[in-house]
Structure 1
């Protein structure tokens, strides 16, 4: 089920909220669990069993880890628990990739090896597996106790606002909110406002831009203008699509009393790749830092080890996004720039350099080409086009597929990115505010509700006349 679908907006969400607020506080975790399972099962009921099985797995192993803290068995149970989670991810997300890669080495294909089946990727598996791992590690580190309340753990794992595409939440941040959280009209309206803004990002900006990127990346020999136009379009589409989802997820959380940490902080104003990863997909970058980079030694083991750690972590981050060499190369690209910035000290002086912002945007944009391309060869076809290998002007057949509306929307999207720091009143979720205190996320002037109502109306009208488009991060 997609947030930007009529089924979700006019059936699931109203029914869920009605049932949720009619349910006594003590039983609302059950309502969340049932509603979230219905939300996930709407796609495929069979993969709901996999989500439930991983929940049982981490529930049991977290308790075993906690019971044996102080002995060597705690680490054994932690290792087995994490291995079980990773095996689920490895089989369902990467087995096809490994088979295809091995077949290529053998000069054949999967069918040539006798493999006549393909595993379907369960939606959201990368997110809930990472949540499972963080929970087990946090119990081992004594950052959170292992809960005996299976319903709360299952509801956390399946919490529908973030189940499909994040943010990657940690149980230690939500455990107290499951026990007790405050529901206020102010909090609900703040959540509704943030949800509307996220929905508008998706429907009014990301989706209309998508045909430009799709057309260019499907072209075998793009010209210079086409290649740059397609790369810029995807850069904007991905941001508004994914940050729109995150806004909706955070807004939905507020509507049922939860306060999630922000996942984006105007990343396209970054002046270094180091800063970019403090602003882009914050929940993932902080997860990689806390559960991989720091345990590997972080920056404590000398310069050479620090650079290797940065590159290795980003390679894993790239592979986490998908089973394709394009993602691995994209991760290596960012890891290499992070290491270079650390070695040169660029990230410390970037704020004083005028070239820092355009250079960072260029590095990010070139990386998105590899991220978006279907194969490494497809990515280099775009790079070749950017250098003018196939001419300069836009070809007539490409012009037929790119509408004036799409170009205008792309211009508007670039303008919004440019002024977004000045529109920051809606995007700052104060994670230092104690959960449940009812503090508003959105400080709205009197006219803001009217503007948001108008935005919601335009968005719904636009949604009614276009086909439903899945969020880009659903594939991860």
Structure 2
């Protein structure tokens, strides 16, 4: 079930009414309702993979209890290893089997051997990367004694399968979400109203920005060999806003919907295209994944405690693994490697934490230096996005090669003025609220002006949105 579908617009009010008016006597009843709703939500995509989700939940629930009950460190480590191996085994099979088999075949071909490989027509279960990471963080935290094992299966199942975040995050932590699940929720009008504003902004970014950029991006990348260099640049820039509108739009909808049920999820985006360097960008883009890799991979590897070479090694590892997490293609690994290279000058000069505050806070416009830094960071990010969007490494290299010719200085022959204007509106609103939780959290205007803005956003959605039930990009990850 897609957020941007008629089915969800029917599903959400029904669950909301049952949650607050029928099952509101005890939070345990609300949790049971949410679990049933979440399983139904997931089954609407493909009911067969619901059993895989339930198995994953059961595995980590049981493993967590066994880790806590273990009488020795060795026994606890065995149970942790069982959970990790099975979880990553399923993820590896569904997501990476064909990649590894194909890459091994290519390696053999390079040495003159020709193998008959057996590729499988595997359907990737939607959300598997996200709910697998939920479970892994849970059992690791129990092993590290950061949390106690949960004994209530329903509560734990809600933590993993909670429908707003189930298929594309944010990647939650048990320390943050479970306590909210295990206490009584009282309806808070202000929280719910701001949640609706965040949902509205999410729909704007997804249906107006991302879904209007998508056809133009697809056309340019499909026919890149005959496009002018300036048009290729336009295609990359539009893809940058497509993936931002698509993924951050999903996150806004997820966080806003969850707030309707009195539950706060982790913030996943913080206006990343206003970043002044690549380190700041990664503190603001897909925050829940970046922090997951920091806590469960970077720090266990030694983090920043060792010498410079260890820092460089660990940084490359987390960026390459992050790229591989996104998909079974060398393009994603190169994308991760490029971002690691971007990060190196900051790491070596110890300037990777110099831009922690919001850019140009208290000012209407940034300084010339800040503007230059933002443009450079955005340009580097766009260059890396070419590999993320391309279907193969050869296509990405060919695309880049065709950018660098004299036509790069020309004006694209058919500028999409409507789409660029809509992107401009999004940037203007987000810039003016860059120190807020989300783009439509506007507090300094007169209430009637705020309501007028909301009506304008609704009008733009009704007028310019693509209502084709377009899937979210991160469903494939």
Shared fold, TM over 0.5: yes
Matched, 1:193 2:197: yes
1:395 & 1:347 partners in 2: Cα distance?
Answer: 36
* Equivalent residue runs for 1:68-79 within 5 Å: 68=70, 71-79=73-81
- The corresponding residue for 1:211 is 215
User: Offset at 1:407?
Assistant: 3.6
Equivalent residues in 2 for 1:65-214, closer than 5 Å = 65-68=67-70, 71-107=73-109, 113=116, 115=118, 117-180=120-183, 181-214=185-218
Q: Runs ≥4 in structure 1, deviation > 3 angstroms?
A: 345-355, 389-396, 440-445, 460-463
Q: Is the 8 A contact 2:164 2:257 kept in 1?
A: yes
* DSSP 3-state at the match of 1:45: helix
Separation in 2 of the partners of 1:340 and 1:12?
49
Taking the TM superposition and a 5 Å limit, the aligned residue runs for 1:421-440 are: 421-424=431-434, 427-428=437-438
Contact 2:197-2:441 at 8 Å conserved across structures = no
Give the Cα–Cα distance (whole angstroms) in 1 for the partners of residues 69 and 446 of structure 2.
Answer: 52
Paired residue for 2:418, among 408, 413, 420? 408
Query: Are 2:4 and 2:203, in contact at CA under 8 Å, matched by a contact in 1?
Result: yes
Structure 2 CA distance for aligned equivalents of residues 55 and 428 of structure 1: 31
Structure 1 distance, partners of 2:430, 2:154, is: 40
> Matches of residues 45-444 of structure 1 in structure 2 within 5 Å?
45-68=47-70, 71-107=73-109, 113=116, 115=118, 117-180=120-183, 181-221=185-225, 222-347=227-352, 353-354=369-370, 355-388=372-405, 399=414, 406-414=416-424, 416-417=426-427, 420-424=430-434, 427-428=437-438, 443=443
Q: Matched residues in 1 for 2:380 and 2:464: separation?
A: 33
Q: Structure 2: which 5+ residue stretches go unaligned?
A: 360-366
Displacement, 1:347?
3.5
RMSD: 2.5
SS at match of 2:46: coil
Q: Could you say if the C-alpha distance between residues 153 and 349 of structure 1 is closer, same or farther in structure 2, counting changes exceeding 3 Å?
A: closer
**Aligned equivalent of 1:43:** 45
The separation in 1 between residues aligned to 2:318 and 2:75, in whole angstroms, is 27
CA contact (8 A) 2:68 2:149 kept: yes
Q: Distance in 1 between matches of 2:328 and 2:188?
A: 43
**How many residues end up aligned between the 2 structures?**
455
Shift of 1:215: 1.1
17-26 vs 140-149, which deviates more?
Answer: 17-26
Give SS of 2:125's match: coil
Distance 1:88 1:348, change over 3 A: closer
8 Å CA contact 2:199, 2:257 repeated in 1:
yes
CA separation in 2, counterparts of 1:252 and 1:261? 13
TM-fit CA distance, 1:123? 0.6
Q: Equivalent residue of 2:211, what SS? A: helix
Whether 1:4 aligns to 2:8 is no
Describe the superposition over 1:330-382 as per-residue Cα deviations: whole angstroms up to 9, x where unpaired: 11111122233110234356789554222211111111111111111111122
CA distance in structure 2 between the aligned counterparts of 1:144 and 1:449, rounded to whole angstroms: 43
Which deviations, in whole Å up to 9, do the C-alpha atoms of 1:408-444 show, x marking residues without a partner? 2224314533552312475359xxxxxxxxxx97648
Distance 1:407 1:380, change over 3 A: farther
Shift of 1:86: 0.7
CA shift, 1:199, in A, is 0.6
Distance across 2 between alignment mates of 1:442 and 1:41: 37
CA–CA distance in structure 1, aligned partners of residues 172 and 138 of structure 2: 10
